[in-house]
Chain A
Amino acid sequence: MKPPRFDYVAAGSVGEATEALASAEDSRVLAGGQSLVPLMNLRLARPSLLVDVNHLGALSGFESHNGTLRFGAMCRHRFLETDPDVRQKAPIFAEVAELIGHVGIRNRGTLGGSLAHADPVAELPALLVALEGRVIVASTGSERAIPAAELFAGPFTTGLEPDELLTTVEVPAHRDGDGGAFSEFVRRHGDFATAGVAVILHRDGFGACEQVRVAGCGLGPTPMDLSAAGDFLRGESSLTDGAAEELGRRVAAAADPPGDVHGSKDYRRELAAVLAADAVRRAWARAGSAGGA
């Protein structure tokens, strides 16, 4: 369980990082390393060059700007979980970050790393899809935005080019009447989710549901946009138990989960139903309260 040989460079700037990425075949960005390094030890990932971006201050920090929440790609999960500003302005990120791994993992793991790794059972990619966020990626001399809907191409596969560095994550800022919740099933505290469901909804000033966004992890080859399952809730001004369970049934039907040692397809569909019903109940309540989520 030792990695094969690789080269290593600690980038001093985004420009240096993108140049280094372009300089070698099979170069990879080293962010928190919580997924990449174990894969290297198992020899399942074999980068020829690791480009360490841990020293790039430009990739850290969180700000709210003109209706957009902007996160540096190197925001650690633990920062999302504990930062007072994030907890106030983007509480759903804090809720989700707390579900990731253990504290030691969250101290190192990063938002951008999780999105770029694109593990279909990871929480943050599903959250980005539910929030209709986007990422900013840099390559030598240029920059572009990739919407969440186009970012995730398949298991562990994104729309990033090999020489592109994910620098920034953007999601719409919270409005009054927004409410969100993320529910997941884990066998043990800190595990990857067997399945998870994010529900983000908006209720108007009269309490009526205007928009429902649903996304899942562990329910397909990518973080799946399951929002169509919630369309029937639009215009409703109360959420009955029956409606929450109906959303669960629709999410389960729309999901395309894998079957593996952690659960069969059927089992994950059953979990999706339970989780979606739970998440929509909590999101609904939050959307109707002052703070939201």
Chain B
Amino acid sequence: MSVTAPPQAPAETGAALRRKEDTRLLCGQGEFLGDVYRPDLKHIAILRSPVAHARIRHIDGSGALTLPGVIGVFTGGELAAETGEFSHHLPMIPTLRQITWSVLATDKVRFVGEPVAAVVADSRYIAEDALELIEVDYEELPAVSDAEAGLDPEAPLLYEDWGDNVFLFMPGSHGDIEAAFAGADGVLQERFTHHRISGLPMEGHGALGEFDPATGRLEMYVSTQVPHTLRTVISDISGLSEAKIRVVAPDMGGGFGNKAHFMREEVLVAVLAMRVRHPVVWQQDRTENLLSGLHSRQQVHEVEVAYRDDGKILGLRANFVVDVGSPELYILGCAPAIVTTSVVPNCYDLQDYAFELRCVATNKGPMGGYRGYGQPQGIFLMERVLDLVGERLGIDPVTIRRANMIPDEPRPYVTATGSVLDTGSFGDQLTELLEAVDYDAACGARDEARTAGRLVGVGIAQMVEPTAPNIHGLAGRFGGYEMAMLTVQPDGRVNVAVGTKSQGQGHETIYAKVAAETLGISPDDVEVSDGDTAALPYGIGTWGSRSAVMGGGAVIKAAQQVRDKMAAIAAGMLEAPAEQIEASDGFFRLGEAAIPFAQIAAVAYLHTFLLPPGMDPGLSVVVGYDPGNTSPFPDERGKMNVAATYSTAAAAAVVEVEAATGVVTVQDLTIVHDCGTVIDGVLLDGQIHGAVAQAVGQTFFEEIHYDENGQPLTSTLLDYMIPTFGDAVRARIIHRETPSGLIGGFRGAGEGAIIVTPAALAAAVHDALVPLGVSITQSNLSPPRLRALLRGHSTA
């Protein structure tokens, strides 16, 4: 049957709706982990390594046990004897070191902040007092605090049996790189550096566990983006069946990819809940968060670019060295770096591309996922290369981009690394950007300012982004599908449960909208729950800009199935073929005749004698949704289509640099963004503004610092600087809507702005500094870092 979109639909896709969750969240009635309370709740504090690299000779917790209020003191060796181990579940990658680790360190510590022992006590105060009474005898070892230094044959070894510190070596060669360089008019050699930052969700990691010995069931409340897959990992390590474990992710104060990993501490809470037989809670404090929860972005790229004098890039060789810190993190901390390598060709027709990736283990906090997930670095590389080659050849940034751009036809276009691009026109997108910012006028104003001695710059950048990816074979076991449950209740109200997890994005609103639109009812009549393993068999969670695409697709698919059944019931009652029934505005309609949605629901559950012969009662489905177009593993040439669909964006920035202080003022930032069909314009703009704020943060404010001994220097928010509201930049946002071929026409929306903005800001700062001859090849443009670049240049 076909149901046409009702013209009087209460909430059409694309129209703004007040967020369903806002009343609850804004009135302080949300339930975050810190709001979850159990009588007799005990508190966990974790003793963390104060040294970057050491062998643990001995741990004595007996002193801590004597403190009144202490329930138990637990060490790594003791727990390891009774629990399973973490691994990356990637035996298929031969060049990845296969390691296992436990919930607490056992033989060695490898970064400041690594968990060594745990105390359970009546309060967090007492637990922290008890930590001071645990004696640990460390045999300190020299530390590796820099990835390139870690590659030195003389470097200390984190894992003696490896023989070096290379956690992952991954080469790739696509096209004919030798021929590309042989045919080049010139070769650009450059080195790009990306600094270490943290995703820094306002609410840190945390978990509460309660074990019922009578039933053998474990209930976990965890601030996680991935409740179902975390349940699998808890099952692995605790030995408890997944059927006995319920994981609930309550309201969350951000995640940004940091909470798409399985933290040792989360599983520790499960293990301790089973041991002490009290409900127990651990909430990461800010220092714990900055030391271990998690870091991102730090990479060094050495590139060689073969180009023709007309600006065409013929081939690119890259050597990526990535500082992954401690590798003991599941999902694999190398995964963002693998993504970096795969997105380098960006939206340009570059088929001859070769690289080597080395992910180096160092004595620093684990590297994990953070919004953008390796893509900001890869896009930065390609966008800087185009500007730098253009500068050599006297070709302006727009012309050199158009000269290399993937043409509009054909689609799909398969990139060098195997991405199957289903995007709209890159050329039209760029044109729309240039018109929006009046690019020629902006460049003219820059020239005038320059004449007056001011350092004003204009920069542009573009990106294409794999969204709704499948990381089964490259990050560990969990693939690219999603599930949803949809139930129409007897009163006609609807419950939806999804396997994704909102951390503040407004998923209740968007899922209610897409379900309501499919069912022809109001979003007010749809209740959405997410993050509860008891409500849905499985889910892959929220990361990789996948929720609208995969979760939205699953919800629509479920709603279509239920709607079709309801239409069949209505058809029976109206004595018409189901194909002629339309669902709109709360009715199932046949011409003038209409049966209320709620009445069909009542038939399905209560007046079941009205059901068509042979039809089962009830209106509830659980569906799995997998577009089926992603590759779980690379092929024999290393190519894989990582994503179900691709989003695009282009950005232009105008900046002014104050030479004396290194302060950059962003005068204008404009983003043209295409994530296919827009579900809710207000929420989408929120995603982009948030990503822009984080891009401004990573470019001008944030940096995780370590000294040469691996001691962290940024362990509070006095030292790790994030932008405040006053430092955020208000971007102008323009949406293009090129629907994908997937259900709903959606493409991912959460990350594009943080991927493209750093490259645009760098381009603009570079342009501003042209009069001084300073080239921007680094991601960190904070005032002291920029000032260091300017120092020694004339008039600066």
Contact = CB atoms under 8 A, between A and B. Distances in A.
Given A264-B784, A270-B660, A42 B129 contact: no
B129 A5 contact: yes
Contact of B718 (A1, A192, A264, A270): A192
Given A271-B661, A274-B660, A274-B661, A188 B701 contact: yes
B791 A261 contact: no
B2 interface: no
A190 interface: yes
B661 A2 contact: no
A189 B718 CA distance: 13
B703 A189 contact: no
A159 interface: no
Nearest to B724: A188
B723 A2 contact: no
B703 A261 contact: yes
A12 interface: no
B721 interface: yes
Interface string B725-737: 0110000000000
Interface in B274-322: 285-287
Interface residues of B, number: 30
A270 B787 contact: yes
Nearest to A263: B784
Contacts of A264: 784, 788
B205 to A, nearest CB: 14
Interface string A225-260: 000000000000000000000000000000000001
A187 B783 contact: yes
Contacts of B719: 261-262
Contact of B714 (A1, A261, A270): A261
B713 interface: yes
Contacts of B285: 1
Contacts of A261: 703, 705, 713-714, 719
B129 A187 contact: no
B37 interface: no
Nearest to A190: B724
A185 B782 CA distance: 13
B726 A188 contact: yes
Contacts of B705: 261
Contacts of A266: 788, 791
A1 B204 CA distance: 13
Contact of A42 (B287, B662, B713, B787): B287
B463 to A, nearest CB: 28
Contact of A188 (B662, B727, B791): B727
A270 B789 CA distance: 13
A57 interface: no
A96 to B, nearest CB: 20
Interface string A1-32: 11111000000000000000000000000000
B129 A260 contact: no
A187 B721 CA distance: 8
The SS class assigned to the A binding surface is: loop
Interface residues of A, number: 25
A156 interface: no
B115 to A, nearest CB: 16
Nearest to B719: A261
User: Which of A261, A266, A271: most chain B CB closer than 10 A?
Assistant: A261
Interface string A33-56: 000000000110000000000000
A114 to B, nearest CB: 16
B724 A260 contact: no
Contacts of A43: 128
Contacts of A192: 718
A262 B717 CA distance: 12
B716 A188 contact: no
B454 interface: no
A92 B142 CA distance: 51
Contacts of B701: 187-188
Contacts of B703: 261
A263 B784 CA distance: 5
Given A188-B724, A261-B705, A4 B129 contact: yes
Contacts of A262: 719, 784
Contacts of B162: none
A4 B126 CA distance: 8
B705 to A, nearest CB: 5
B787 A267 contact: yes
Contacts of B718: 192
B721 A267 contact: no
Nearest to A267: B784
Interface string B97-132: 000000000000000000000000000110011001
A6 to B, nearest CB: 11
Nearest to B723: A188
Contacts of A260: 713
Contacts of B132: 4
Contacts of A3: 125
B788 A267 contact: yes
Nearest to A277: B660
A189 B124 CA distance: 33
Interface in B115-153: 124-125, 128-129, 132
Contacts of A187: 701, 721, 782-783
A1 B784 contact: no
A187 B286 CA distance: 21
Contacts of B660: 270, 273-274
Contact of B124 (A2, A185, A271, A273): A2
B721 A2 contact: no
A5 B123 CA distance: 13
A233 to B, nearest CB: 21
A3 B123 CA distance: 12
A191 to B, nearest CB: 8
Contacts of A4: 128-129, 132
B724 A2 contact: no
B285 to A, nearest CB: 4
A2 B125 contact: yes
B788 A2 contact: no
Contacts of A5: 129
A26 to B, nearest CB: 16
Contact of B724 (A42, A189, A267): A189
A43 B286 CA distance: 14
B44 to A, nearest CB: 13
Contacts of B128: 1-2, 4, 43
A55 B151 CA distance: 61
Nearest to B782: A187
Contacts of A267: 662, 783-784, 787-788
B68 to A, nearest CB: 12
Nearest to A260: B713
B660 to A, nearest CB: 5
Interface string A180-224: 000001011111100000000000000000000000000000000
A261 B716 CA distance: 12
B723 A1 contact: no
Nearest to A259: B784
B286 A1 contact: yes
A264 B718 CA distance: 16
A134 to B, nearest CB: 30
Interface string B241-268: 0000000000000000000000000000
A266 B713 CA distance: 19
Contacts of B286: 1
Contacts of B726: 188-189
A185 B721 CA distance: 15
B699 to A, nearest CB: 13
6 tightest A-B CB contacts, nearest first: A1-B285, A263-B784, A2-B125, A267-B784, A261-B705, A274-B660
Given A189-B726, A191-B721, 8 more contacts: A2-B128, A187-B782, A188-B701, A261-B713, A264-B788, A267-B783, A267-B787, A267-B788
Interface of A: 1-5, 42-43, 185, 187-192, 260-264, 266-267, 270-271, 273-274
5 contacts: A187-B721, A190-B724, A261-B713, A270-B660, A271-B661
